Structure 1
Amino acid sequence: MSGSSSSGDALPEHAYYCFEVIQAALDGSPEPAPQFDADEAFPLFVTWNVRSRSGGEPRLRGCIGNFEALPLGDGLADYAVKSAFEDGRFDPITAKEVPRLECGVSLLTDFEVCDDYLDWELGTHGIYVEFVNPALATPSSSTSRTSTPSSTATTSSTSSGRSGDPAGPKPTYRSLSGLPKLSLSVPRSHNPRNLRPTLHATFLPEVATAQGWSKVEAVDAAMRKGGFKGVVSDEMRRGARVSRYQSRKVKVTWDEWQRWRAGAH
């Protein structure tokens, strides 16, 4: 597809396209063609905010995405619609609201395994936390804990890992599923209820700062989101596998989309 190429950056054209897609859906028109490289693939999220008629900060109107790498053309079209009309937290967006909308597109990149649970930066990284299900805590002689390797890793000098480390830059992965996974083998006698051996949860990069969390608080919150209801111990944090990733974001308003549209047609 002709047009702009992102090279990993979120572009205004990506968000303009989301506006085009939902306008077409509301009008019952054919889906438009993207004006960018539609075949580049990234995990992505589409966020809709709506401005209040009385002023004030825009409020969330819908946000849905996917942690697997998707071609941008298909992925943005799909999640523009899902986040606008299928986010179960909200009523579907209506045609009357469109002129007050803002669209944000986030492309997720640089998935890396952290050296420890604090090896990430607030405001820069999202985190993916995996940990052994505390309900299945057993003596080490009764369990086998392994990492599932991935064939999709690449090593890049532009990785956000510390390039000065003796081991060199960290391997980076294209998506959440590409990361090496924490795997735990538990004898059936220790798991009669067939509980999940490991639990996991993730937070996007903006969540921890928006909540005012420290790194420790963010990791603890992820463990609770993953299903643990007790008090998180330092031993649990140290035993967890924490991975990090980054988000390249762009946000445009309806007015900006209209100006772009007038110049593009």
Structure 2
Amino acid sequence: MVSANREMAVFCFDTLVAHYNSEQAPPPAFDEGQHPLFVTWKKAVNGGEPRLRGCIGTLEARCLINGFKDYALTSALRDRRFPPIQAKELPYLECTVSVLTDYETALHYLDWEIEKHGIIIEFTDPDYNVRRSATYLPEVAAHEGIIFISCWTKMETIDSLLRKAGYNGPITDPLRKRICLTRYQSTIFTMHYSEYSSHVKRIRGAVPAVVGVKPSNH
């Protein structure tokens, strides 16, 4: 089984740096394969808690090299919830790569475990008679929830996911029971820009340089 690893995170940083420099990223140092994947960018300033800056991926299998190349940029520059990440933010970024595995159809909407499973919900919006869907990665309920409401329960996670899917009506137990839920697992690897910079200096002999951005000691 392919697991998320350091070289995948390095490649995502390489891809973003190359974008700002209008050049090609160095070839990745991990093996090709096909898996669903996500790229998450967070930003921490002045030692504060890292805050989400972009997270986009695919629930269908993609070639890992092209997938990480595409979603490193898409999540950094085209997540509609946030303004595009600017080059000057690079020293404050951390990148998490996720490789998704073990898809299973759940018995009901609570048939999953916080921290272990990511979840995909699908349901029919009763107000508009349209199908809606949304997903949270395994780390969202376990970690993102801590920031906002101390810790998400399964029910709170499901209700949040209904809103993420675009449902604006009243959330009732009959609606929850009509949810089709798929659970999955993932491996993740997180790297801060300072670790990436040190890695590049050690492997390539020089720290990464970005056109128009002064070197940082961060």
TM-score tier by shorter-chain length is 0.7 to 0.9
Q: How far did 1:135 drift?
A: 4.0
Q: What is the aligned length?
A: 198
Letter paired with 1:48: W
Q: RMSD between aligned alpha carbons?
A: 2.1
Q: Does the residue aligned with 1:99 lie in a helix, a strand or coil?
A: helix
1:61–1:69 Cα change, 3 Å: same
Q: Does the residue aligned with 1:223 lie in a helix, a strand or coil?
A: helix
8 A contact 1:134–1:228 mirrored in 2? no
Is residue 50 from structure 1 mapped to residue 43 from structure 2 by the alignment?
yes
Is residue 10 from structure 1 mapped to residue 8 from structure 2 by the alignment?
no
Q: How far did 1:50 drift?
A: 2.2
Counterpart for residue 249 of structure 1 = 188
Q: 31, 45, 64: which one pairs with 1:72?
A: 64
Counterpart for residue 159 of structure 2 = 220
Is residue 40 from structure 1 mapped to residue 38 from structure 2 by the alignment?
no
Is residue 25 from structure 1 mapped to residue 25 from structure 2 by the alignment?
no
- C-alpha distance in structure 2 between counterparts of 1:223 and 1:259, whole Å: 41
Q: How far did 1:227 drift?
A: 4.1
Q: How far did 1:202 drift?
A: 2.1
Q: How far did 1:10 drift?
A: 0.5
Q: Mark the runs of 5 or more structure 1 residues left unpaired by the alignment.
A: 1-6, 137-194
Q: Does the residue aligned with 2:161 lie in a helix, a strand or coil?
A: helix
Q: How far did 1:17 drift?
A: 0.8
Q: How far did 1:101 drift?
A: 1.8
- C-alpha distance in structure 2 between counterparts of 1:97 and 1:131, whole Å: 38
8 A contact 2:127–2:169 mirrored in 1? no
Range with bigger deviation, 111-120 or 61-70: 61-70
Letter paired with 1:117: Y
Q: How far did 1:252 drift?
A: 0.7
Q: Mark the runs of 5 or more structure 2 residues left unpaired by the alignment.
A: 146-150, 205-218
Paired-residue identity, %: 44
- C-alpha distance in structure 1 between counterparts of 2:158 and 2:167, whole Å: 12
- C-alpha distance in structure 2 between counterparts of 1:96 and 1:199, whole Å: 37
Q: How far did 1:99 drift?
A: 2.1
TM normalised by structure 2 equals 0.80
What pairs with 1:163-182 in structure 2 (closer than 5 Å)? none
Q: 104, 107, 113: which one pairs with 2:99?
A: 107
Counterpart for residue 182 of structure 1 = none
8 A contact 1:44–1:70 mirrored in 2? yes
Counterpart for residue 136 of structure 2 = 203
Range with bigger deviation, 245-254 or 219-228: 219-228
Is residue 259 from structure 1 mapped to residue 192 from structure 2 by the alignment?
no
Q: Deviations over 1:144-185 (max 9, x none)?
A: xxxxxxxxxxxxxxxxxxxxxxxxxxxxxxxxxxxxxxxxxx
Counterpart for residue 84 of structure 1 = 76
8 A contact 2:18–2:25 mirrored in 1? yes
Structure of larger gyration radius: 1
After TM superposition, which residue ranges in structure 1, 4 or more long, deviate above 6 angstroms?
A: none
Letter paired with 1:73: I
Q: 162, 165, 169: which one pairs with 1:230?
A: 169
